[in-house]
Amino acid sequence: MELISQHAKRIMEGCKERAREAGLSFQDESLEYIVTNRDLVELSPKVMIPTLYDYWVQDVEILKEKGRYELYPSNPYETVINTRPPISYYNDNNPDWLNVMIFYHVLGHMDFFQNNLFFRDTWNYDFTSKALSDKRLIAKLRSEKGHWVDYVIEFSLAIDNLVGYFNTLGELERNSRSQKQSLLDYYFDVFLQERSSFTVVSYVKEIERYNQHVRDDRARGGRLFLEEVKVRYPELETLHQKSQEQEGGPQRLDLLQFLMEQSEFLRRNENRWMLTVMEVIRSTSLYFQPQIRTKILNEGWASYWHETLFLSDDRISGHEVDFARVNAKVTSLPRVGLNPYALGMRLFYYLEEMADRGKLSFDYLRLTDREERRRFDSNLARGKQFIFSVRENYADSMFISQFIDQDFVDLHKLFVSGKRLNKERMTWQYYVKSRKAEHYKNMVLSSLYHPPSITISTTEDNTLRLDHLFEGKPLVTDFIGPTMMGIEYLWGGPVELFTSEVVIKKGEAKKKSDEAAEQVEWERILYTMNKKRLNRKSMNEVLTIW
């Protein structure tokens, strides 16, 4: 890997100026590298982070089982990574005009990384340096503990998609606006009102008494009042303190955290080093979480800006046709399939226009006349402002569920397509399944990243109990055993998993798939992993036995 030429760097700096003028904000420094095919081979298993820790499985070609399972997302070929300074990768033979386009795209990403609130957790540190120190840490542990380090990495990786990303984010949010309730507020707002002797009359009297104190002595009245109260209710202060602690809420632990805190196996002295490894895996996973949850937004935002800024860049006039060709390839809507660049960019344009004409208002929504709706324009010109706020506050799921409406679907002739086997002609047929916005929205939403939600508890006999929340999807059954084996190792005792699976009835194999899809029957399954042996039990059977 080497840095791009001074010439290219100068172009990049020019792009930065223009991007800033347009309203994007990002830090001054950035690093641009040329990557060769060989570099890519090395970088892609490390998710483009050059300093990520080593792990032997990275040397094996990892079949992501792309064809078989949905939603096993990974970003092995990202152009820019969210570090401080951001690092971006380029082909060595890009012509200048193409570099300009890519630079703008990269700047769009940088702006997004550094302003979207879902990335807040990554703002305070540079991930490359953290990854480097993690890498050294793991290398050191490996030299001490041998290959057992790799088992801990493996088993932690097996559950790293269950990290409590939103919990962490929520925690951060709470801490940032930690205006603590004062004792006085607590006294009036909570304490008095919760007392059994509480009446409105006595409450008003008490307020009046407080006001009297303040009126009598402007400087010390409030404090005096509190002292009196404290004498009258000696328990007040303790209760206040307790409520302060509860305010933060009992922290909800994700599976990795839970194991780190509660596992007796890990708390043993000779196993304590495993905690460090697990923490590395957990924080690494947390770092990637916002990225995977903002794919459409992020790519849409970057595409919006590379298009806008490229076309207004005076340095590369004459290359409009070249640009159009590349741009069309990246941002055209596919006849069948989903393209995050195309969808995100169009949504941003759409929202900008809506906001410009004031269509995101009640007045507009109230209109039912088609012609009036079309002509509606309150000349608000809030478009830019609005899309910038979307860029700051939204993640993919919110973006999609809030803004895809019938107008948008009609505008871009979007539809949900289906695929069926035509046995006579032995072909797969693609057909237009629905043009309803609701269906389109649900289709996109269902293809978004969504790891299973699992709650954790323990039983009296120290069995770890995992409960997979039913969301209409089963778990990949082949993976349940190996994953649970890893958890068992880290937990140091038996593990249970409750999940739901489709009931397969023998003899109905030839049923038409359309009907079958509608008449799916679910049953609750209990998996137990004890001493590396997996046991599967249907809860219905358990119930009938009872």
Partner 1 sequence: MNSLQKRYAALKQEGVSPQEEERINQELAAAAHGGEARHHEHLFAPNRLPGIYDQQDLLSLQDQNEPMVPSFASLHSLDYLLERDALREKDGFPRKIRLGKIVKPSRDGSDKIVIVPTTVEEKFLHDRVRTPGQEDGEGEGGEQGEGGAGDGEEGEVIGEQPVREEQGSGSGPGQGEGASHEVDSNAYDLGRILTEQFKLPNLKDKGKKRSLTKYVYDLTDKNRGFGQFLDKKSTLRRIVQSNVALGRIQVDRTIDPAELLISPRDRVYRILSREKDFESQAVIFFVRDYSGSMGGLPTELVVNQHILLYSWLTYQYENQIETRFILHDTEAREVDNFYTYYNLRVAGGTQVAAAYAMVNEIVEQEELARDYNIYIFHGTDGDDWDTRGEKTLPELEKMLKYASRVGITIAENTLIATGKSEVERYLRRSGLLEEKKDLLRLDVLGQESNEARLIEGIRELIS
Q: 373 vs 420, which CB is nearer to partner 1?
A: 420
| Residue with token string 């953290």 | 130
Residues in the chain: 546
Residue 511 CB, nearest approach to partner 1 (Å): 5
Using CA atoms, how far apart are residues 64 and 229, in angstroms rounded to an integer?
A: 65
Using CA atoms, how far apart are residues 407 and 295, in angstroms rounded to an integer?
A: 23
Q: 162 vs 226, which CB is nearer to partner 1?
A: 162
Residue 65 CB, nearest approach to partner 1 (Å): 6
Using CA atoms, how far apart are residues 329 and 345, in angstroms rounded to an integer?
A: 14
Q: 67 vs 250, which CB is nearer to partner 1?
A: 67
Residue 299 CB, nearest approach to partner 1 (Å): 8
Q: 249 vs 418, which CB is nearer to partner 1?
A: 418
Residue 221 CB, nearest approach to partner 1 (Å): 60
Q: 378 vs 402, which CB is nearer to partner 1?
A: 402
Q: 168 vs 294, which CB is nearer to partner 1?
A: 294
**Residue 57, Cβ neighbours under 10 Å: how many?**
12
Residue 243 CB, nearest approach to partner 1 (Å): 37
Q: 14 vs 73, which CB is nearer to partner 1?
A: 73
The dihedrals phi and psi of 233, each to the nearest 5 degrees, come to -120, 90
**Residue 441, Cβ neighbours under 10 Å: how many?**
21
Q: 93 vs 179, which CB is nearer to partner 1?
A: 93
Residue 198 CB, nearest approach to partner 1 (Å): 49
Residue 102 CB, nearest approach to partner 1 (Å): 6
The span from the first CA to the last CA of the chain, in angstroms, equals: 65
The 8-class DSSP code of residue 217 comes to -
Residue 275 CB, nearest approach to partner 1 (Å): 20
Among residues 152, 130, 131, the alpha carbon closest in space to that of 141 is found at 152
17 near 103, Cβ under 8 Å? no
Using CA atoms, how far apart are residues 64 and 42, in angstroms rounded to an integer?
A: 17
The dihedrals phi and psi of 526, each to the nearest 5 degrees, come to -110, 120
Beta strand 87-90 pairing with 31-34 = parallel
Q: 236 vs 347, which CB is nearer to partner 1?
A: 347
Q: Output the CA–CA distances (angstroms, integers) from residue 237 to 4, 207, 228, 241, 323, in the order listed.
A: 63, 19, 13, 6, 68
**Cα torsion at 201, 207, 211, 217 (round to 10°)?**
120
Among residues 263, 260, 258, the alpha carbon closest in space to that of 277 is found at 260
Residue 446 CB, nearest approach to partner 1 (Å): 5
